[in-house]
Copies of this chain bind each other. A is one copy, B any other.
Amino acid sequence: MSEPPPLEHIPQEPGKGMCNGMDTKHKEDLELAAVYVSDAQHNRNIFFDTEPTAVRLYLLYNHWLLGVLLYFFILVNLLLAVVEQPALVYLPIWACMLVELCCLSVFSGRLVHYAKVIPRDKFWKDPKNICVLIILLLTLVDMIIYGALKATDNYAVRWSRVLRPLLLVNFTEGRQLRRAFRSIRNALPQILSVFLLFIFSILIFSLMALKLFGKRGLKTNDGRPYFTNFLEVVFDLYVLVTTANSPDIMMPAYNASSFFAVFFIIFILINTYIFMSVFLAVVYNNYKKYLKEEVRQLVRTKRHKMVRAFAILQERHEGWEEPVVSHTSWNQLVRLVQSDLSHAHRELLWSVADHHNQGFIGKLAFVQLADLLNIQVIAVKSRPHPLQRWSPALYLSTPSRWLCRAVKHRVFVMIYDVIILVNAVFIGLDEEDPLIGNSEWFFLSLYLLEILLKLYAVEPRAFYSRHNFWNWFDTIIIVSALVATIINTAMTSVGGYSSRQILDIVFTLRVLRLIRVVDSIKRFRVILNTLIKIGPTMLTFAQLIIVVYYIFAMVGMELFHGKLQFFDSESPGKSSCGNPALQDSSFAKMNYCKNNFNNVVSSFILLVELTVVNHGFTAVTHPSARIFFVLFHIIVVIIIINIFVAFVLEAFFVEYTLEKSLLITSLEKKIQELGVAQEQTEPSNLVDAMETTDNDLRTEETTTRLMFKISSTRYRTVDSLLQRMFEADLDPEDFAGEDDPEEPSNLNFSNPVFSSI
């Protein structure tokens, strides 16, 4: 779309409504406005065509099912590594190829769909589309070459597999991931400065180590000469920074003279403690800076879209200078944007927007709509318990009321906490003792009783409402444990044989049950809630890690696969991992043979190990293979893990310091005013009280009515969390280029593209 939609002035009496005379034009306008609002709400930055047909195609493009489908096929595409050579589960080449072709066609389809939605020139200007296209073409070329070579029994490498995770980044849906990559790329120059200084420090120390220790004829523990080759020294000291070979690398020098320990202590102080902290500081600072800029851009774009939606729906109101949007249009719009919103909820939002009850709202109030829709309002229907409807006399009798009160009492929670602790002791004891084994039935029935009692006291639909995480958790864990225990007992009593797998499940479920205790201790709940809050954003990091891991796994498998073998039983190859170079090496002695690149699963596990402790064993290949390990350490540990730590830090600081946003406050006030607030059972603290059982046990009213509560514990989108993190630095009146929507530079609010891949 290269020009904004024309401004329309529909002269109409406000309040009279337009439902009757709704013509096609109006319907299309409404649809377009709804798309703008929806895009603003979900922070989509797609430059779709405003033609009605294109808008409908765009709506289809945004359908969640198509998104899920795309991600499913990306997953399938990534998982192909499991069945491809070197395979974990062997599948013939033609089958792999077929699946991959299927994936490629889905991706192409998605791309074509996208091309239809946005104007052609925009499509070709966007590097991420070009990226996807090139990846698809390269993959196709690679498949043909590979197939041809394999058919003629030649050696072939599936090099295009490295490109697969990049699809995750370059499809429009990978916004978060793209943003993370972009922030990393922008922070790189600063990180590089520190990194060069760090490398310089390592080189200086290595030179000194070479001069100090090289001529003394010391030997390492496995008899090799100690610190005689400069490159070996550099690598050893680099590994020492990761603390992986401490104190082994120091021992020969330390055994020769205690004074040499000073060298290593200074080395560790400077490189491990100071430099790593400086890395964290620089990564943190720069990542935050660029992320803040991105979020500012995001908010500006969002407001810009809302202004456009406003321009479509605006009308003139007599005696009013500025154009406004009437309640009717607003209602139709919101119904289109979010059809699952209840009428009461919509009215609540309107009353927040239309503060003075005028029946219409101005631009500023309208623009808030996207943020209003993103505030998670929990609507609790307070209706009578089914038992009450079935037999009011019985349910409302004194003993029954007493029971309900007892279940809702603190002591009830405490009793069950004690039961859980006793259960923990029983779990720890040996389950072969028949008494202990049978106690499991006792505990299971106690837990079942708890759930039943709670269901008696609380309306079941309220108990199992979407936000009651712990109720769901409890029920699922208990019921599965019950089923698994029954199956296990049945199997034992029938065949005298108990399956290890089922026992594993039973034990895991039993132990998981203990987590419940955490929820009833308030100081823990605060920490846990913050962790749950930042959970969705951690998924972005998970994707980031997966992209990097996948690339390294693919390269690693090509480079190192088959170098080692893992032998299950005592076989002659066990002491050397099947490779003569490792005969009697400490690697083989420590039983590390399964740490290899022989298939994609062990590659991933090995990469996790390398993230934790990077030894960089390279005895079986050329020493230059160390480059692989050092590179991995730099990218994953120094950059990504630091960004992860920085993110957790920032999120916690925000929780500790930030107050509720203005919008949430005004919404809360409205809820209070309207008298539809659900009682707050706990003082709203550092982190607002989560939707625990306690909260929901209070809704004791007997009439069906809606109650609202703002859930500030979860954000509907990751962007909302980010926006909240940088809220203090955002100007609420900042409408980027709103006065001059014709200006192309302002219009170009497409997501800054990720061009470097």
Chain A: residues with CB nearer than 8 A to chain B?
193-194, 196-197, 200, 204, 207-208, 210-212, 216, 221, 230, 243, 246-248, 250-252, 254-255, 258, 261, 265, 268, 272-274, 277-278, 280-282, 284-285, 424, 427-428, 500, 504, 507-508, 510-511, 514-515, 517-518, 523-524, 526-528, 531, 566, 568, 589-592, 594-595, 601-602, 605, 608-609, 612-613, 641, 644-645, 648-649, 652-653, 656
Contact = CB atoms under 8 A, between A and B. Distances in A.
Contacts of A247: 592, 595, 609, 612-613
B258 A648 contact: no
B208 A280 contact: no
13 contacts: A193-B526, A193-B527, A200-B517, A208-B507, A210-B428, A211-B510, A212-B507, A247-B592, A247-B612, A251-B592, A258-B601, A261-B605, A268-B612
Given A221-B591, A251-B592, A273-B644, A424 B207 contact: yes
A523 B612 CA distance: 31
A196, A566, A649: which has the most chain B beta carbons within 10 Å? A649
A515 B204 contact: yes
Contacts of A601: 258
Given A197-B518, A197-B524, A652 B278 contact: yes
Contacts of A528: 197
A526 B282 CA distance: 12
Contacts of A500: 216
Contact of A265 (B211, B221, B605): B605
Main secondary structure of the interface of A (DSSP, over half): helix
A656 B285 contact: yes
A193 B522 CA distance: 10
Given A208-B507, A258-B601, A427-B211, A652 B265 contact: no
Contact of A527 (B268, B278, B280): B278
A595 B258 CA distance: 11
Nearest to A194: B527
A528 B348 CA distance: 57
Contacts of A427: 207, 211
A550 to B, nearest CB: 16
Contacts of A644: 273, 277
B508 A285 contact: no
Contact of A531 (B196, B274, B504, B653): B274
A481 to B, nearest CB: 13
A429 to B, nearest CB: 10
A277 B645 contact: yes
B197 A591 contact: no
